[in-house]
Amino acid sequence: MYYKLTKKINLLLMEERYSIFDIAGPIMVGPSSSHTAGACKIGQYARALFNKTPKHVVFYLHGSFGEVYKGHATDKALLAGVMKFQTGDPRMKDSFKIAKEKGIDFDFKVKSLGPNYHPNTVRIDMESASEKMSVIGSSIGGGVIEIVKINDFKVSLRGIAGKYFSLVVKHDDKPAVLKSLTAILKSLEVVVSKVDSVKFRNKVLTVLSSQGKAPKLKEVIEMEKIEGVDFVRALTKLDK
Amino acid sequence: MEYEFTTAADIKKLCSKHKIKISELAKRYESERAGVSHVVVRNRMKKTRDVIWEAIENGIGNKKKSDLKMSGGDAAKMYAQLTNMRDMMSNRVCVRAMAYALAIGEQNALMGRIAAFPTAGGAGVVPGVLFSSSQHFHAGKRRLLRAMFCASAVGIVIASGATISAAKGGCQAEVGAAAAMAAAGLIEMQNGTVEQCFDAAAITLKSYLGLVCDPLGGLVEVPCIKRNSIAAMAAIGAGDMVMAGIKSFVPFDEVVRAMKNIAETMSPKLRETALGGLAATPTGNKIKKKLGLPIIK
């Protein structure tokens, strides 16, 4: 039921007025909002969904990503995202070196994923000792991204680079869970300005985005203790 | 919503109703829209200002070239001229504004941290004009912040009435919009009236109507970076005209409508696709070859 509801809310928010900081910002690492900032955001989502730092990552670059990734540093940005860097983190240009220091084994391959994908699309295959996951995401312009596939499962999760602080939540398919989550966020004075939900197997993945205050790490861990919640992941590195 | 605006007419009405400047209106608009206090809004703008200043400092001190050797080091050259003004035709404010605008553009190309203002492609213009002139006026940090708020409000008018995306409207929507914003901010810094701000913005934007987006190899380097610094000069020029008492014959809202019109008729080849204009020249093709992109005959 509440998928429809959240869809409606999002439609309303699509006509949301411009923020002063849509104009004076976002703060980002150049050179491109779709090929750099958006790519970093896709990496962050993949890392959040995988729920741990992968030992081995392979990026399959599709379409325009595959053609111009070097000039726009899409590769560095993707890897930076997988390491939880913010889109405005100046360390992004050294992400290859930092990944090597962290012992992450990475590789980039140019590959067409098929005709049905947006030109700026990447498939990220992550592996740790015990788990494997594959995430496909597209950067659809102006820093807006969409995760379209997790493993073999079609989804549609949207995010905006540099604009929102987002929480990715995996939880049971019960409206009450989301309700108690938003209640907690409200008590923390976090204003949720965007909700995106998608069914994932027998669970639900929800992205809650806020523009103002961000919850602290301690508070995120508290939220994971709610009954019916599998995990809560903060999408940008938390302050302090 | 008390402080809602999408056009210059709305802004003029609200400013005269509440007897406030554009910057104050912008602050109230944002705090009302996001449901946060004025302090939170001001602090966020302060952060943007600090990021911009850091990018300028890194840029004017940088001699490194970008990966394809298309840009880098020009900001330092321009900034060095401040010690040798005899060879320059324009004054210190202009030379410094050009150096700052180049600095931001080069930092963007070198993967430095910048604030897109309003977009990454036009990010140098507003900082160039406002930071350089605030140094000239010995204006405090507050006055600079006010000018930035004013510029952002003008950006909202352009984004609402037309577009600020080069993929939709060409370079007029990025560098052109940024120049109009900078001109308005400059007038507010000089304590001009609301009408004067929009006159300066209109005069600037009129000069940039129809400008296409044709970057070499699709990279935000050539002609974008130098275009930013020339646009800073245009904004300062428009500001001077307005301070001399000159008005824009066409009101700002109509200029924005004209920009939308032009954007809708502009060929997609000239909208950030690197398929026409400078991108399709022999030099542009050379860059495309290096990137492994298809050559245009």
Give me the residue label for tokens 């602090």.
Answer: B43
DSSP class per residue in B141-202: HHHHHHHHHHHHHHHHHHHHHS---HHHH-GGGTHHHHHHHHHHHHHHHTT--HHHHHHHHH
Contacting residues for A32 by C-beta, under 8 A, at least 6 apart? A72, B120, B220
* B179 min Cα distance to partner chain A (Å): 13
User: What is the mean predicted confidence (pLDDT) over B264-289?
Assistant: 92
User: What is the mean predicted confidence (pLDDT) over A126-142?
Assistant: 89
How does residue B168 score in pLDDT terms, banded at 50, 70 and 90? Answer: confident
Residue B207's alpha-carbon distances to B97, B154, B234, B293, in angstroms, are 19, 16, 8, 33
Residue A240 pLDDT greater than 90, yes or no: no
Identify which of B222, B205, B203, B237 has the alpha carbon closest to the alpha carbon of residue B278. B222
Q: Which residues pair with residue A108 across a beta bridge?
A: A59
With beta carbons less than 8 A apart as the criterion, state whether A203 and A171 touch: yes
**Contact between A70 and B291 using a beta-carbon 8 Å cutoff:** yes
B150 touches chain A (CB under 8 A): no
Q: Which two tokens stand for residue B51?
A: 């990021």
Q: Residue A32's Cα: distance from chain center in Å?
A: 18
Contacting residues for B47 by C-beta, under 8 A, at least 6 apart? A27
Q: Which two tokens stand for residue B28?
A: 């109230």
Closest partner residue to A18 among B120, B159, B291, by Cβ?
B159
With beta carbons less than 8 A apart as the criterion, state whether B22 and B153 touch: yes
Q: What 8-state DSSP symbol labels residue A33?
A: I
B273 touches chain A (CB under 8 A): no
Cβ-based contacts of B152 with chain A (< 8 Å): 20-21, 23-24
Could you list the beta-strand ranges (E) of chain A. Answer: 27-29, 56-63, 105-110, 120-127, 132-141, 144-150, 153-160, 165-172, 192-200, 203-210, 229-234
Beta-strand pair A192-200/A144-150? unpaired
Domains of chain A, residue spans: 1-25+163-240, 27-162
**Contact between A25 and B151 using a beta-carbon 8 Å cutoff:** no
Please tell me the distance from the alpha carbon of residue A163 to that of residue A34, in angstroms, as a whole number: 13
B62 touches chain A (CB under 8 A): no
Residue B11 pLDDT greater than 50, yes or no: yes
A202 touches chain B (CB under 8 A): no
User: What is the mean predicted confidence (pLDDT) over A232-237?
Assistant: 70
Beta-strand pair A105-110/A120-127? unpaired
pLDDT value at residue B254:
98
Classify residue B260 by burial, with Cβ atoms within 10 Å: 0-12, 13-18, 19+: middle
Residue A66 pLDDT greater than 90, yes or no: no
Residue A69 pLDDT greater than 90, yes or no: no
pLDDT value at residue A9:
45
More confident: A236 or B63: B63
Identify which of A26, A47, A48 has the alpha carbon closest to the alpha carbon of residue A37. A26
pLDDT tens track for B100-144:
999 999 999 999 999 999 989 999 999 999 999 999 999 889 999
Judged by phi (left if over 0) then psi (alpha if -120 to 50, else beta), residue B280 lies in alpha
More confident: A48 or A60: A60
Contacting residues for A186 by C-beta, under 8 A, at least 6 apart? none
pLDDT tens track for A179-217:
888 888 888 888 787 788 888 778 888 888 877 677 787
pLDDT value at residue A5:
46
Residue B35's alpha-carbon distances to A162, A190, B43, B54, B202, in angstroms, are 19, 11, 15, 29, 31
pTM for this predicted structure: 0.83
pLDDT value at residue B186:
98
Residue B95 pLDDT greater than 90, yes or no: yes
Cβ-based contacts of B218 with chain A (< 8 Å): 68, 71
Please tell me the distance from the alpha carbon of residue A122 to that of residue A49, in angstroms, as a whole number: 15
pLDDT-above-90 percentage for chain A: 26
pLDDT value at residue A238:
39
Q: Which of A90-104, A140-154, A191-205, B239-253 has the highest mean pLDDT?
A: B239-253
Please tell me the distance from the alpha carbon of residue A60 to that of residue A106, in angstroms, as a whole number: 11
Average pLDDT in chain B: 95
* A221 min Cα distance to partner chain B (Å): 26
Q: Which fold has domain A27-162?
A: 60s Ribosomal Protein L30; Chain: A; (3.30.1330)
User: What is the mean predicted confidence (pLDDT) over A204-232?
Assistant: 82
**Contact between B117 and A25 using a beta-carbon 8 Å cutoff:** yes
pLDDT value at residue A137:
94
Please tell me the distance from the alpha carbon of residue B196 to that of residue B202, in angstroms, as a whole number: 10
* B162 min Cα distance to partner chain A (Å): 13
**Contact between A36 and B111 using a beta-carbon 8 Å cutoff:** yes
pLDDT value at residue B79:
97
More confident: A202 or B261: B261
Mutate to test the interface with A, among B48, B113, B149, B220 (most CBs of A within 10 A): B113
Average pLDDT in chain A: 82
Mutate to test the interface with B, among A21, A23, A72 (most CBs of B within 10 A): A23
pLDDT value at residue B160:
93
How does residue A16 score in pLDDT terms, banded at 50, 70 and 90? Answer: low
Please tell me the distance from the alpha carbon of residue B268 to that of residue B168, in angstroms, as a whole number: 8
Q: Which CATH superfamily is domain A1-25+163-240 in?
A: ACT domain (3.30.70.260)
Q: Which of A37-41, B8-12, B140-144, B167-171 has the highest mean pLDDT?
A: B8-12
pLDDT tens track for B143-155:
999 999 999 999 9
pLDDT value at residue A236:
59
Closest CA in chain A for residue B47: A27
pLDDT tens track for B184-232:
999 999 999 999 999 999 999 999 999 999 999 888 999 999 999 999 9
pLDDT value at residue A239:
34
Residue B48 pLDDT greater than 70, yes or no: yes
With beta carbons less than 8 A apart as the criterion, state whether B238 and B185 touch: no
The complex's ipTM works out to 0.91
User: What is the mean predicted confidence (pLDDT) over A101-124?
Assistant: 92
How does residue A31 score in pLDDT terms, banded at 50, 70 and 90? Answer: confident
3-state DSSP assignment of residue A234: strand
